Amino acid sequence: MSTATATATATHTAALARLGHALSDSTRTGVLLALRKAPAYPSDLADALGVSRQVMSNQLACLRGCGLVEAVPDGRRTWYRLADPHLAPALDELLRVVLYVEPGCCAGENCTCA
């Protein structure tokens, strides 16, 4: 029997745990999926996801704390984008994994996951 060796550092593990925490909430997941397409204002994200602006503010604060999104001041407003360009393709790949594991979750012409 061989002994498994750790290939990830504690830093890698913590970073993946933060990503898992971010994805554990459907609103945060919706924000990340929306931002993979384009940056957005919090009010637009709240409207698109059907949540209050206060809920959106709290979720964006969490995502900022996880290091996944960044706020960009724009005059008196602030818009948000993914913090790193690698996140959008990673989220796309996660969607493909979901479709493999749960092929019936999105079907038909209106599916935009694949």
The mean pLDDT of 81-96, rounded to a whole number, is 93
Write down the pTM of the prediction. Answer: 0.81
Does residue 107 sit within a domain?
A: no
The pLDDT of residue 96 is 83
Domain region containing 50 = 16-95
Higher pLDDT, 99 or 11: 11
pLDDT tens digits for range 47-69: 999 999 999 999 999 999 999 99
Does residue 104 sit within a domain?
A: no
Does residue 102 sit within a domain?
A: no
What per-residue string of b and e applies to 71-98 under the rule 16 or more CB within 10 Å gives b? eeeeeeeebbbbbeeebbeebeebbeee
Q: CATH code at 54?
A: 1.10.10.10
Q: What is the mean pLDDT of the chain?
A: 87
